[in-house]
Structures are given as C-alpha cells and as structure tokens.
Structure 1
C-alpha cells in the first residue's frame, strides 16, 4: 500500500473520530514493517500466518502503560537480540549485540546512525521481565567481560504463546481491524480477521485453512529486498537460474515485489537491459548492498501489471484480445473466478465464450493449459498454435 494511498485514507479517516484516526496511523506503521515481521515469523514458527498486525498492536499498546507507546524499532531489536541469544555457535558480547541491532535497523532506515548501550540493556531487561517473555538469559564471563546467551538454545520469543493480557489485546486489535476493513483502502483486512480468529480460538477443532507454501526458499530475503526498494539501494545479486550451472552476479536496481502463484518475484532494472527483469526470490542466493547511483524508473506497477496474468512482460508490450471457449462443465468456475479484470463472457447451450485483453506470456499459457480439455483457444492464431504445440509435445510423454 503506497504512501499516497495512506495519505488519502488519513484524510478520510481523521474527521470520523480520533481513535479511528490513531488506528490508521498504527496501520501505516504496520505496513512499514509488514514484510519483515511476517516473513521472519514465517521462517521460525509452525503457524505461518500474517502476525504483523497482531505484533504491532501488542507492542504499541502495552497493558501496563497504554499512554506511552513502545518506540517503533523496539520489536525489531528484540528479534535481533533473540537471534543472537539462541546462536550457540558464537559468543555475543555487548558490543556485538549493539552492532547486530544497528546493522538490521540501518538496512530498514539509513537515517539511524547509532544504537546506545543503554538502549540494549533496557531491551534485555524488558525481554527478561514478565511483561516481556521471561527469557532464560545467562551471562557467562570471559576476562571479566560478559557475553549473552539463552540457557536453553531452543528457546525463542517467536514461539512463545500469547499471555492473557495479549489475548485481550488481540480481541481489541480484531475490533479495530474489522472496523477498518469496511473501508475500500483496507478491504484486504477481512482475510486477516479470519486468520486471527482461527489462530486464537479456544476450540481444538480447526475450521479454516489458508493456502501457503511454507517450504518456499528465499523468504528470509524478502524484508531485506523490501527495505532496499524503500531506501533506493543498488544491490549486487547472485542469482541461480534453474538451467545454468554457474550463478549470475548482477548489479540490480530493485523497484517492486510481487507475489504470484504462491511465489515471490523481485522486479527491477539491470543497467545492461532496456526492459525490466524479474527474479524469483527463491533463486536468489546472495544479496549485498553496493554503492552507486540508483536508477529509479517512474513506473505505476499497479497499472504495469494490469495487462498481464503473472509477472512477465516488456515495457512496450501492448495487450491483445484473447478469445477462449470453455465447456459447460467449467463455465461456472470461470464466471465466479474470472481469469482477468477485463473478462467479458457470453454463454449458450454449448459452453462459455470468454474474451480478455492481456499481454500474452508464459504464465497465461500455463494458466490456459491448466484447464485441460475444458478450454479451446479461439484467437489470436499465434496463441492458438503455441498452446496446440505444447499439447502435442505433452502427448509424446504418454
């Protein structure tokens, strides 16, 4: 959700009432950290749901001090400290903890130039308290210097159950989210309410499941890429294509992240190419920030992807009219789940004719093939021939 969209929503929300306006400000912070929280939690817990709203609500509004919201970078520091404390392969002294927290926050916000020792000590004290997570921290000494680690290496704040106070706050969070979900700008929150309800219900019987690919590689890179885009950082990316033995190393100007078919893609610019490049993040093996002038192409990516199914297109491609014929058996599915926003339909006693205006690409062809013998490509002829060729090649395997 863009800054411009947030400004429009704030303008609309502010006259309604102060609490709702504060909620929208909270949601702005949520969106700033959404990727980081969601994907760090996704890689560390069995419950891979978007906890971003929950976490920020819990830590912005503490039960013991509702008038004093937690400093916005605190939870990220807690995650870094938690990771350091559970690392049995390295001894983290205070100077190391400060450095690790600084590196993580500086990626997120380059204006952060330092973190004080006092801040880290305060964070540790909170994490050890009952209001935090009562972490089992020990502080062995080497040459009078203490290093910090968990007494139990399997402990993590990310797998601790919510307390009674937190559960009460979750209920408050759901009320705020439900209220905002009625606005067009926050319509995506309807699903989030259902996810929170399912995660924190008292019933042992689960009645809803959200599709996800918890085994997808590369999710740990998502927050780093997200902040690189926000901060306009040039990256050196090592990318391993499927059909190439040696990886590619490129200077990459990241511009956008898009999810398609349960897979995340990084879209950006490479100096040697005129068109945009997209990399599946599960094929990115290394990311390093480098110096250099960032090439910021002014592209409205919502509009850019309006004309395609999937993520593949060139800047100058134009959409064409594509006509498909579906069987009567498949027709109800196409009517209730359109192929594309431009879809137009005409049904008769023999089937359903569908017309869409999109740029042909490999994702479109794969989507058409997924319907098997329930679909026929009518036009254009070039697409009809390409789909027919793939079907003929497929038959050779049987």
Structure 2
C-alpha cells in the first residue's frame, strides 16, 4: 500500500530522532520512495516546519543538527477543519505578546505547525485565504494584572465608567474569571458593595485605576460553565432558561444548522421540510438573543414565547422610528 506524504514525514522524523546520521538509501527503503521523492519530502519538511535537516558527507547521511520533533495530528482534517484551525491560530496570535497567554504560546505554535503540515501547498493556498484582523480592544492591557488577581483570589478595586452614567464609580470586586465575547473582554466577579455577581467590560475600566486590596472574603461558589451554558453573551442572568421555538425559512435553516448560534439536539428539531426548519432551544431570553434574531430579519419567526416576540417587536419598532419621515 502506498505511503502518504504525511506518513513519510513522520517516518523520516522517527529515523532522524535516533540521533545518528541516516543514509539516503535507508530512508528511501523506510519510506518506500525513490531518491528524488525523498529529497522533495525533506525539502518540504524544511520549508513547512523549519525542520533542521542537514546532509553530512562526513557522517554519511541526513541528521537533525539541533533538537527537533515533528508533531502531527493523527486525525484526518478536511479543508474546512484546516481553515477553522488557521482562523483560531490567527485569532490567538493577536494576543501572543500578552503575558496572560504566555502559558499557551507553545501550544499555539504547535497547532500552527500542525496546520501547515496539513496544507499541501502552503506557499500558494494562503494567498487565497483571508482572515478577519481584529484590532486590540480597549482595556486589553489589564488582562495580565486581572489574571494574577483571579489566580491569587485577590479582591480588586477599580473605577468603572458605564456608558450611560455621568461619572465613574469605584467598584470593589472579587474576580472569578475573565471572559471574551465578540472581541471584547470582561471580568466576572462578586461585587462587595452591594454584594452581587457582576460583569464588567474592560473597555469601561478607567485606566490606572485598577489595584489589588488587602481585603479577604469567601464569596459564594460560582460555576462558570453552568452559568453561561444556557445563554448568549456576557451578562448577569437572574431568569431561568425558557423553551424558545423558532421557525426559519428553508435557506436560513440551512445557515443555522451549519453554524448555530446556540446548540440544539436532534430531538429539538420540530419541523424539517423544504419550506421550513423549526427548532426548540432551551435558552435564557436576554438582549443578546434579541439582537441575534433581529440579524435574521424576515428569515425567522418566533413561535414562542410571546414575551420574546414582544421584546423583538419593541426593538425593531425603535429601530424603525429612527427612520420615520416627519
């Protein structure tokens, strides 16, 4: 059975990691290819993964001239998988210079190497793929300091300027975790005065006002995964999740199924026909959900509950009022 190029790369890597120089004939036999193909494989390993391979006449073969190991992903990746991974790496690389991501930098580089490993012609294909460049958000410079506070369970203070307040207010908060949503960062924590769970956007924290305190508290337990699972966005949720039934047009239904804004199970599909895709979502009704549904325009209709229908009508009516001619 023919050996794939990725398998040949791994076989070459395994041989060279033995430490000794491996003769050309031996590598040809291990990979089951002619000398020309072997040299092409080695050149591609050098180009794609910066593999430090050198041929030594004195030693009589190929060897790694510095420590190296080619790590590959064992599963088969589709073009869509590769594009998704490339997009994720591109996004993560925007934060690579922040100390908060120092622990992940090596992992990101390994993923980036694996993505290059799966792209058959990286020098040409990348010219046909454009990824969204997200500029750094205001407040991102606080990430490092906030991570330290979260890890050390330190109570922090900062001045917070809400967009609709005339002046900033001093906040005293026990930070639980940081969360990113739609390219903005938030700190979720337990505010001491008054005692309550709160979410604060870093873009509204006044520069140079963040500091640690000597206060020590034992806040109520907080399960982030359970808290955010039934909702869209980042907010404080007091209401429980409700059954929301949505009726999409056939085309919008295909878009939703391809990239749902909220997860659903097969048994949650109520209608799946050439005219309609109807689905039930158990989700908290909040403003983020209203915004998401408004984005679909007339391609979706809320079948239940009536409270969500009224929220969307109010939102759309206020938008329409912006364009009323007097």
Normalised by the length of structure 1, the TM-score is 0.50
Select which of 216, 219, 237 maps to 1:293: 216
User: Could you tell me how far 1:213 is from its partner in structure 2?
Assistant: 2.3
Change in 2 beyond 3 A, CA 1:301/1:353: same
Q: Which residue of 1 aligns with 2:158?
A: 237
Q: For residue 376 of structure 1, give the secondary structure of its aligned residue in structure 2.
A: strand
User: Could you tell me how far 1:336 is from its partner in structure 2?
Assistant: 1.2
Q: For residue 329 of structure 1, give the secondary structure of its aligned residue in structure 2.
A: helix
- Say if 2:261 is the partner of 1:339: yes
- Say if 2:241 is the partner of 1:304: no
| Aligned partners of 1:265 and 1:280 also within 8 Å | yes
Q: What CA deviation, in whole Å up to 9, does each residue of 1:27-72 have, x standing for no partner? A: xxxxxxxxxxxxxxxxxxxxxxxxxxxxxxxxxxxxxxxxxxxxxx
Structure 1 unaligned residues grouped into runs of 5+: 1-163, 183-187
- Say if 2:209 is the partner of 1:271: no
CA distance in 1 between counterparts of 2:68 and 2:305 reads 50
Q: What CA deviation, in whole Å up to 9, does each residue of 1:81-115 have, x standing for no partner? A: xxxxxxxxxxxxxxxxxxxxxxxxxxxxxxxxxxx
Select which of 287, 306, 312 maps to 1:381: 306
CA distance in 1 between counterparts of 2:303 and 2:183 reads 29
| Aligned partners of 1:181 and 1:189 also within 8 Å | no
Change in 2 beyond 3 A, CA 1:275/1:341: farther
CA distance in 2 between counterparts of 1:209 and 1:382 reads 41
CA distance in 2 between counterparts of 1:239 and 1:358 reads 30
Q: Which residue of 2 aligns with 1:203?
A: 123
Q: Counterparts of 1:35-184 in structure 2 under 5 Å?
A: 167-168=50-51, 175-176=70-71, 178=73
CA distance in 2 between counterparts of 1:330 and 1:173 reads 48
Q: What CA deviation, in whole Å up to 9, does each residue of 1:202-232 have, x standing for no partner? A: 8385344444521411111112111210110
Change in 2 beyond 3 A, CA 1:381/1:287: same
User: Could you tell which deviates more after superposition, 291-300 or 375-384?
Assistant: 291-300
Structure 2 unaligned residues grouped into runs of 5+: 1-46, 53-65, 78-83, 90-109
Select which of 253, 262, 266 maps to 2:174: 253
Q: For residue 318 of structure 1, give the secondary structure of its aligned residue in structure 2.
A: coil
Normalised by the length of structure 2, the TM-score is 0.61
Q: Which residue of 2 aligns with 1:372?
A: 297
Q: For residue 310 of structure 2, give the secondary structure of its aligned residue in structure 1.
A: helix
Select which of 328, 347, 352 maps to 2:250: 328
| Aligned partners of 1:326 and 1:351 also within 8 Å | yes
Specify the structure having the higher radius of gyration (Cα): 2
CA distance in 1 between counterparts of 2:145 and 2:198 reads 18
CA distance in 2 between counterparts of 1:369 and 1:335 reads 18
CA distance in 2 between counterparts of 1:195 and 1:259 reads 22
| Aligned partners of 1:312 and 1:363 also within 8 Å | no
Q: For residue 190 of structure 2, give the secondary structure of its aligned residue in structure 1.
A: strand
Change in 2 beyond 3 A, CA 1:228/1:207: farther
| Aligned partners of 2:199 and 2:236 also within 8 Å | no
| Aligned partners of 1:321 and 1:357 also within 8 Å | yes
| Aligned partners of 2:160 and 2:170 also within 8 Å | yes
User: Could you tell me how far 1:327 is from its partner in structure 2?
Assistant: 1.3
Q: Which residue of 1 aligns with 2:95?
A: none
CA distance in 1 between counterparts of 2:136 and 2:225 reads 28
CA distance in 2 between counterparts of 1:172 and 1:324 reads 56
Q: Which residue of 2 aligns with 1:59?
A: none
Equivalenced residue count is 225
CA distance in 2 between counterparts of 1:367 and 1:172 reads 50
**RMSD, matched Cα:** 3.2
